[in-house]
Amino acid sequence: MTSIKEQAAISRLLSFLQEWDNAGKVARSHILDKFIETNRGKTAPELEQEFSQGASLFLVRLTTSLRITYVTDSCLEKLLRSIGIFLSAVSSNRYLIEFLEVGGVLTLLEILGLEKIKEEAKKESIKLLQVIANSGRTYKELICESYGVRSIAEFLAKSKSEETQEEVQVLLDSLVHGNPKYQNQVYKGLIALLPCESPKAQQLSLQTIRTAQSIIGTTHPSIVDCVLKVLGTMHLEVQYEAIELIKDLVGYDVRQALLKGLVALLIPSVKETSKLQAKILSDPSVLQLAPSLPMFLQQAAAAKAIG
Protein backbone atom coordinates (compact mmCIF):
# COMPACT_ATOMS: atom_id res chain seq x y z
CA MET A 1 0.00 0.00 0.00
CA THR A 2 1.04 3.57 -0.64
CA SER A 3 2.20 5.38 2.47
CA ILE A 4 0.60 8.59 3.68
CA LYS A 5 3.78 10.46 2.75
CA GLU A 6 3.73 9.09 -0.78
CA GLN A 7 0.04 9.88 -1.15
CA ALA A 8 0.69 13.46 -0.10
CA ALA A 9 3.53 13.76 -2.64
CA ILE A 10 1.34 12.39 -5.43
CA SER A 11 -1.42 14.77 -4.42
CA ARG A 12 0.99 17.73 -4.66
CA LEU A 13 2.11 16.57 -8.09
CA LEU A 14 -1.44 16.27 -9.38
CA SER A 15 -2.27 19.66 -7.94
CA PHE A 16 0.75 21.20 -9.67
CA LEU A 17 -0.12 19.61 -13.00
CA GLN A 18 -3.71 20.78 -12.68
CA GLU A 19 -2.49 24.29 -11.93
CA TRP A 20 -0.43 24.22 -15.14
CA ASP A 21 -3.30 22.83 -17.20
CA ASN A 22 -5.69 25.53 -16.00
CA ALA A 23 -3.21 28.41 -16.14
CA GLY A 24 -3.26 31.20 -18.70
CA LYS A 25 -0.26 32.79 -20.39
CA VAL A 26 0.76 34.99 -17.45
CA ALA A 27 0.29 32.28 -14.82
CA ARG A 28 2.30 29.78 -16.87
CA SER A 29 5.09 32.30 -17.21
CA HIS A 30 5.25 32.56 -13.40
CA ILE A 31 5.23 28.76 -13.06
CA LEU A 32 8.14 28.51 -15.49
CA ASP A 33 10.08 31.21 -13.64
CA LYS A 34 9.71 29.31 -10.39
CA PHE A 35 10.57 25.97 -12.01
CA ILE A 36 13.75 27.36 -13.59
CA GLU A 37 14.85 29.02 -10.36
CA THR A 38 14.16 25.93 -8.24
CA ASN A 39 15.44 23.16 -10.49
CA ARG A 40 18.38 24.56 -12.45
CA GLY A 41 21.32 22.13 -12.29
CA LYS A 42 19.41 19.22 -10.78
CA THR A 43 20.08 15.63 -11.82
CA ALA A 44 17.37 13.38 -13.24
CA PRO A 45 16.92 11.51 -9.91
CA GLU A 46 16.55 14.85 -8.13
CA LEU A 47 13.93 15.98 -10.63
CA GLU A 48 12.06 12.73 -10.14
CA GLN A 49 12.15 13.26 -6.40
CA GLU A 50 10.88 16.81 -6.86
CA PHE A 51 7.97 15.54 -8.96
CA SER A 52 7.24 12.37 -6.99
CA GLN A 53 8.58 10.13 -9.78
CA GLY A 54 6.36 11.94 -12.27
CA ALA A 55 8.73 14.47 -13.84
CA SER A 56 7.90 13.16 -17.31
CA LEU A 57 4.31 14.28 -16.80
CA PHE A 58 5.49 17.88 -16.60
CA LEU A 59 8.01 17.47 -19.42
CA VAL A 60 5.30 16.24 -21.78
CA ARG A 61 3.26 19.34 -20.94
CA LEU A 62 6.24 21.55 -21.70
CA THR A 63 6.90 19.88 -25.04
CA THR A 64 3.22 20.02 -25.97
CA SER A 65 3.09 23.70 -25.12
CA LEU A 66 6.26 24.27 -27.14
CA ARG A 67 4.83 22.64 -30.25
CA ILE A 68 1.57 24.57 -29.98
CA THR A 69 2.86 28.04 -29.11
CA TYR A 70 6.38 28.41 -30.55
CA VAL A 71 5.09 30.23 -33.62
CA THR A 72 3.58 32.95 -31.43
CA ASP A 73 6.70 33.24 -29.24
CA SER A 74 4.56 32.96 -26.09
CA CYS A 75 6.92 32.24 -23.15
CA LEU A 76 9.14 30.54 -25.72
CA GLU A 77 12.47 31.37 -24.12
CA LYS A 78 11.28 30.16 -20.70
CA LEU A 79 9.80 26.99 -22.20
CA LEU A 80 13.10 26.17 -23.89
CA ARG A 81 15.07 26.84 -20.71
CA SER A 82 12.72 24.61 -18.74
CA ILE A 83 13.05 21.79 -21.26
CA GLY A 84 16.79 22.34 -21.12
CA ILE A 85 16.76 21.60 -17.38
CA PHE A 86 15.36 18.16 -18.17
CA LEU A 87 17.59 17.40 -21.16
CA SER A 88 20.84 18.58 -19.57
CA ALA A 89 20.26 16.84 -16.23
CA VAL A 90 22.67 14.05 -15.35
CA SER A 91 21.17 10.63 -16.25
CA SER A 92 18.52 12.32 -18.37
CA ASN A 93 18.51 9.94 -21.34
CA ARG A 94 14.87 9.05 -20.77
CA TYR A 95 13.84 12.71 -20.95
CA LEU A 96 15.88 13.15 -24.12
CA ILE A 97 14.17 10.23 -25.82
CA GLU A 98 10.75 11.51 -24.76
CA PHE A 99 11.55 14.91 -26.25
CA LEU A 100 12.82 13.47 -29.52
CA GLU A 101 9.87 11.11 -29.92
CA VAL A 102 7.50 14.07 -30.21
CA GLY A 103 9.58 15.76 -32.91
CA GLY A 104 11.67 17.97 -30.65
CA VAL A 105 14.56 18.35 -33.09
CA LEU A 106 12.34 19.50 -35.95
CA THR A 107 10.65 22.04 -33.69
CA LEU A 108 14.00 23.47 -32.56
CA LEU A 109 15.19 23.75 -36.16
CA GLU A 110 11.97 25.43 -37.25
CA ILE A 111 12.39 28.01 -34.50
CA LEU A 112 15.72 29.05 -36.04
CA GLY A 113 14.07 29.88 -39.35
CA LEU A 114 11.20 32.04 -38.09
CA GLU A 115 12.03 35.73 -38.41
CA LYS A 116 9.54 36.99 -35.83
CA ILE A 117 10.99 34.86 -33.03
CA LYS A 118 13.40 36.75 -30.76
CA GLU A 119 17.13 36.13 -30.91
CA GLU A 120 17.30 35.02 -27.27
CA ALA A 121 14.77 32.25 -27.88
CA LYS A 122 16.73 31.09 -30.90
CA LYS A 123 19.89 31.01 -28.80
CA GLU A 124 18.11 28.74 -26.30
CA SER A 125 17.09 26.53 -29.21
CA ILE A 126 20.73 26.28 -30.28
CA LYS A 127 21.73 25.36 -26.73
CA LEU A 128 19.19 22.54 -26.69
CA LEU A 129 20.53 21.28 -30.02
CA GLN A 130 24.00 21.33 -28.44
CA VAL A 131 22.75 19.15 -25.59
CA ILE A 132 21.19 16.73 -28.08
CA ALA A 133 24.30 16.61 -30.29
CA ASN A 134 26.57 16.04 -27.30
CA SER A 135 24.50 13.02 -26.29
CA GLY A 136 26.11 10.85 -28.94
CA ARG A 137 26.56 9.96 -32.58
CA THR A 138 22.98 8.76 -33.06
CA TYR A 139 21.64 12.14 -32.01
CA LYS A 140 24.08 14.04 -34.23
CA GLU A 141 22.89 11.95 -37.15
CA LEU A 142 19.28 12.71 -36.26
CA ILE A 143 19.95 16.45 -36.40
CA CYS A 144 21.69 16.11 -39.77
CA GLU A 145 18.95 13.87 -41.17
CA SER A 146 16.43 16.55 -40.22
CA TYR A 147 18.16 19.01 -42.60
CA GLY A 148 19.73 20.52 -39.52
CA VAL A 149 23.02 21.56 -41.09
CA ARG A 150 21.29 23.83 -43.58
CA SER A 151 19.01 25.38 -40.95
CA ILE A 152 21.85 25.93 -38.50
CA ALA A 153 24.20 27.36 -41.15
CA GLU A 154 21.55 29.74 -42.47
CA PHE A 155 20.85 30.94 -38.96
CA LEU A 156 24.56 31.56 -38.37
CA ALA A 157 24.68 33.73 -41.48
CA LYS A 158 21.57 35.73 -40.54
CA SER A 159 22.03 36.12 -36.79
CA LYS A 160 22.78 39.64 -35.57
CA SER A 161 24.17 38.54 -32.21
CA GLU A 162 27.84 37.56 -32.03
CA GLU A 163 27.19 35.72 -28.77
CA THR A 164 24.52 33.61 -30.46
CA GLN A 165 26.76 33.03 -33.47
CA GLU A 166 29.46 31.68 -31.17
CA GLU A 167 26.93 29.25 -29.71
CA VAL A 168 26.14 28.11 -33.25
CA GLN A 169 29.84 27.51 -33.87
CA VAL A 170 29.97 25.28 -30.79
CA LEU A 171 27.07 23.28 -32.21
CA LEU A 172 28.63 22.93 -35.67
CA ASP A 173 31.92 21.91 -34.10
CA SER A 174 30.09 19.21 -32.16
CA LEU A 175 28.38 17.98 -35.32
CA VAL A 176 31.68 17.60 -37.15
CA HIS A 177 33.22 15.51 -34.35
CA GLY A 178 32.26 11.85 -33.95
CA ASN A 179 29.82 12.02 -36.84
CA PRO A 180 31.48 10.15 -39.75
CA LYS A 181 28.24 9.65 -41.65
CA TYR A 182 27.50 13.36 -41.95
CA GLN A 183 30.78 15.17 -41.24
CA ASN A 184 31.19 15.91 -44.95
CA GLN A 185 27.75 17.50 -44.99
CA VAL A 186 28.77 19.80 -42.14
CA TYR A 187 32.05 20.57 -43.92
CA LYS A 188 30.24 21.55 -47.14
CA GLY A 189 27.76 23.63 -45.16
CA LEU A 190 30.61 25.58 -43.61
CA ILE A 191 32.20 26.24 -47.00
CA ALA A 192 28.85 27.46 -48.31
CA LEU A 193 28.85 30.08 -45.54
CA LEU A 194 32.05 31.77 -46.69
CA PRO A 195 30.40 34.13 -49.22
CA CYS A 196 27.82 35.33 -46.66
CA GLU A 197 27.62 38.98 -45.63
CA SER A 198 28.24 38.46 -41.91
CA PRO A 199 31.94 38.92 -41.02
CA LYS A 200 31.46 37.08 -37.72
CA ALA A 201 29.84 34.14 -39.49
CA GLN A 202 32.73 34.07 -41.97
CA GLN A 203 35.30 34.15 -39.17
CA LEU A 204 33.64 31.35 -37.20
CA SER A 205 33.10 29.26 -40.33
CA LEU A 206 36.76 29.53 -41.28
CA GLN A 207 37.80 28.47 -37.80
CA THR A 208 35.49 25.47 -37.85
CA ILE A 209 36.51 24.48 -41.39
CA ARG A 210 40.09 24.15 -40.13
CA THR A 211 38.87 21.70 -37.50
CA ALA A 212 36.69 19.83 -39.98
CA GLN A 213 39.51 19.68 -42.52
CA SER A 214 41.82 17.92 -40.10
CA ILE A 215 39.10 15.38 -39.27
CA ILE A 216 37.95 14.65 -42.82
CA GLY A 217 41.41 14.62 -44.39
CA THR A 218 40.25 15.45 -47.92
CA THR A 219 39.24 18.74 -49.51
CA HIS A 220 36.15 19.87 -51.38
CA PRO A 221 36.79 21.29 -54.88
CA SER A 222 35.02 24.58 -54.10
CA ILE A 223 37.12 25.46 -51.08
CA VAL A 224 39.98 27.10 -53.01
CA ASP A 225 37.81 29.61 -54.83
CA CYS A 226 35.73 30.37 -51.73
CA VAL A 227 38.66 31.00 -49.42
CA LEU A 228 40.54 33.12 -51.98
CA LYS A 229 37.52 35.39 -52.40
CA VAL A 230 37.37 35.91 -48.64
CA LEU A 231 40.85 37.46 -48.79
CA GLY A 232 39.26 40.62 -50.21
CA THR A 233 37.38 41.30 -46.98
CA MET A 234 37.73 44.60 -45.16
CA HIS A 235 37.68 42.73 -41.84
CA LEU A 236 41.18 41.79 -40.78
CA GLU A 237 40.02 39.13 -38.31
CA VAL A 238 38.31 37.31 -41.18
CA GLN A 239 41.34 37.74 -43.42
CA TYR A 240 43.56 36.32 -40.69
CA GLU A 241 41.43 33.17 -40.38
CA ALA A 242 41.41 32.79 -44.17
CA ILE A 243 45.21 32.97 -44.30
CA GLU A 244 45.50 30.41 -41.49
CA LEU A 245 43.18 28.07 -43.38
CA ILE A 246 45.22 28.55 -46.56
CA LYS A 247 48.35 27.57 -44.64
CA ASP A 248 46.59 24.37 -43.60
CA LEU A 249 45.29 23.65 -47.10
CA VAL A 250 48.78 23.81 -48.58
CA GLY A 251 49.30 20.37 -47.07
CA TYR A 252 46.42 18.87 -49.06
CA ASP A 253 45.74 17.98 -52.68
CA VAL A 254 44.64 21.53 -53.53
CA ARG A 255 48.16 22.90 -53.03
CA GLN A 256 48.81 23.62 -56.71
CA ALA A 257 45.41 25.21 -57.33
CA LEU A 258 45.81 27.28 -54.19
CA LEU A 259 49.26 28.59 -55.08
CA LYS A 260 48.14 29.31 -58.63
CA GLY A 261 45.19 31.28 -57.29
CA LEU A 262 47.35 33.23 -54.84
CA VAL A 263 49.85 34.18 -57.53
CA ALA A 264 46.99 35.27 -59.80
CA LEU A 265 45.75 37.61 -57.07
CA LEU A 266 49.12 39.35 -57.03
CA ILE A 267 48.64 40.42 -60.64
CA PRO A 268 45.87 43.01 -61.18
CA SER A 269 43.41 42.02 -63.86
CA VAL A 270 43.33 44.01 -67.10
CA LYS A 271 39.76 45.02 -66.33
CA GLU A 272 40.64 46.47 -62.91
CA THR A 273 43.77 48.17 -64.27
CA SER A 274 41.75 49.77 -67.06
CA LYS A 275 39.22 51.10 -64.55
CA LEU A 276 41.98 52.65 -62.48
CA GLN A 277 43.64 54.21 -65.53
CA ALA A 278 40.32 55.70 -66.64
CA LYS A 279 39.88 57.36 -63.25
CA ILE A 280 43.37 58.81 -63.35
CA LEU A 281 42.82 60.23 -66.84
CA SER A 282 39.41 61.66 -66.03
CA ASP A 283 40.51 63.43 -62.84
CA PRO A 284 44.26 63.55 -62.23
CA SER A 285 43.85 65.62 -59.07
CA VAL A 286 41.70 63.08 -57.21
CA LEU A 287 42.49 59.39 -57.17
CA GLN A 288 39.46 57.41 -55.99
CA LEU A 289 40.80 54.07 -54.81
CA ALA A 290 37.82 52.91 -52.72
CA PRO A 291 36.23 50.62 -55.35
CA SER A 292 39.59 48.94 -55.92
CA LEU A 293 40.34 48.48 -52.23
CA PRO A 294 39.11 44.86 -52.01
CA MET A 295 41.44 43.97 -54.89
CA PHE A 296 44.39 45.54 -53.09
CA LEU A 297 43.42 43.79 -49.86
CA GLN A 298 43.32 40.49 -51.73
CA GLN A 299 46.78 41.18 -53.13
CA ALA A 300 48.18 42.00 -49.71
CA ALA A 301 46.58 38.94 -48.14
CA ALA A 302 47.81 36.72 -50.96
CA ALA A 303 51.33 38.03 -50.39
CA LYS A 304 51.02 37.24 -46.67
CA ALA A 305 49.79 33.73 -47.39
CA ILE A 306 52.60 33.02 -49.84
CA GLY A 307 55.23 34.67 -47.68
Distance between CA atoms of 208 and 223, rounded to whole angstroms?
A: 13
Q: Are 113 and 209 contained in the same domain?
A: yes
Question: Per-residue b/e over 139-159, b at no fewer than 16 CB within 10 Å?
Answer: bbbbbbebebbebbbbbbbbb
Q: Are 170 and 278 contained in the same domain?
A: no
Q: Which of 186, 221, 256 is the last residue of a domain?
A: 221
- pLDDT reported for residue 294: 65
Q: Are 230 and 200 contained in the same domain?
A: no
Measure the N-to-C terminal CA separation of the chain; round to a whole number of Å. 81
Q: Are 264 and 212 contained in the same domain?
A: no
- pLDDT reported for residue 263: 86
Quickly state the pLDDT bin for 291 (edges 50, 70, 90).
low
Q: Which of 200, 221, 242 is the last residue of a domain?
A: 221
Q: Are 217 and 237 contained in the same domain?
A: no
Nearest CA-CA partner of 259 in 299, 204, 306, 200: 306
CATH number of 117's domain = 1.25.10.10
Quickly state the pLDDT bin for 264 (edges 50, 70, 90).
confident
Q: Are 110 and 240 contained in the same domain?
A: no
Alpha carbon dihedral 94, 73, 119, 19, in 10-degree steps, equals -50
Quickly state the pLDDT bin for 280 (edges 50, 70, 90).
very low
Q: How many domains does the chain divide into?
A: 2
Residue 156: domain span = 4-221
Q: Are 215 and 81 contained in the same domain?
A: yes
Q: Are 174 and 247 contained in the same domain?
A: no
Q: In this predicted model, what pLDDT tens digit does every residue of 78-107 receive, in sequence order? A: 999 999 999 999 999 999 999 999 999 999
Quickly state the pLDDT bin for 285 (edges 50, 70, 90).
very low
- pLDDT reported for residue 283: 46
Q: Are 212 and 297 contained in the same domain?
A: no
Residues 52 and 5: beta-carbon distance below 8 Å: no
Q: Are 208 and 301 contained in the same domain?
A: no
Q: Which of 221, 256, 282 is the last residue of a domain?
A: 221
Q: In this predicted model, what pLDDT tens digit does every residue of 205-262 receive, in sequence order? A: 999 999 999 999 999 989 999 999 999 888 999 999 999 999 999 999 999 999 898 8
Q: Are 54 and 137 contained in the same domain?
A: yes
